Copies of this chain bind each other. A is one copy, B any other.
């Protein structure tokens, strides 16, 4: 991981590399760094497969990967940051179904020249973040990769506790749209990095950058709360509020109108402080990788911890702000 030698914090990378250690030693180090795991896991890592308890008779499953150089940069993010983010973005998908995270498996494909210390950091971030959410790391896979390539894949599982899953397709005219967690901070943090403001700018800028690197603040517990309150539809904000709500609108065959005043309130705090009101609103609408949750509810059913930002209308599927069209381009993994 040659970029790591140029890290702006000047922290030395420790050796040895994965190739020098070999697979058994790498695995032992990873298992130690993951730390103790919670949950109901009749058979944990170390056999052909793990066994995870699924009390409700079904399991919620999602998978999402991060690739070095595309989804993170070593001069911005540590291995621990990547571990936090890959876990939170997967668990947010579980939460967006209304499920409680229960377990995950971790796949790492890495250039043998990767320093062991980077992988140890990654495993620490994965283990700590997963544990905090009550989900056990129950297995994984270690693989080599071409020179320079490091890829981290997670498949996360959750339990619906007997409830129906909250789909994207259930929003009904008359519902309100509400958000749990922050919006635009990850996009605002990425904008700082892209402008070359890797450091400095005070605590507000630090916070935006940290949200971008780690998805800190993804409101995982709010998913089951929304499901219990009777949310009619839910999604996590991974590609941007307008784009992701557009998916809910399309799946539900409804229109969504957001209130600019409510969005401005959501943009308050560090995002507004760093970027000013106009750019802050742009990041709230278009910023991806926040992993906030957005859901629709009957107006009387909005639970504590959720802020109303708009309403569901009868009309052609789409997202407007104060009844006006918005443009907010999304993210495509293959087009550059």
Contacts and interface: CB of A to CB of B under 8 A. Distances in A.
Nearest to A21: B334
Interface stretch (A55-63, A188-196, A264-272): A55-63
Contact of A61 (B55, B96, B157): B157
Interface in A42-88: 42-43, 47-55, 57-71
Interface residues of A, number: 75
Interface stretch (A3-11, A105-113, A202-210, A278-286): A105-113
A126 interface: no
A97 interface: yes
A215 interface: no
Instruction: Give the copy number.
Output: 2
A162 interface: no
A273 interface: no
A93 B58 contact: no
Contacts of A38: none
A189 to B, nearest CB: 21
A26 B335 CA distance: 11
B155 A155 contact: yes
A65 B146 contact: no
A153 interface: yes
A107 B65 contact: yes
Given A107-B153, A167-B43, A67 B334 contact: no
Contact of A112 (B57, B92, B334): B334
A335 B20 CA distance: 7
Given A47-B165, A146-B148, A334-B21, A57 B53 contact: yes
A329 to B, nearest CB: 13
A63 B146 CA distance: 20
Contacts of A160: 51
A63 B140 contact: yes
Nearest to A24: B332
Nearest to A149: B149
Given A23-B334, A333-B142, A49 B65 contact: no
A176 interface: no
A156 B63 CA distance: 11
In the A-B complex, list the 7 residue pairs whose CB atoms are closest, starting with the nearest: A49-B62, A155-B155, A48-B96, A54-B54, A48-B93, A63-B105, A18-B334
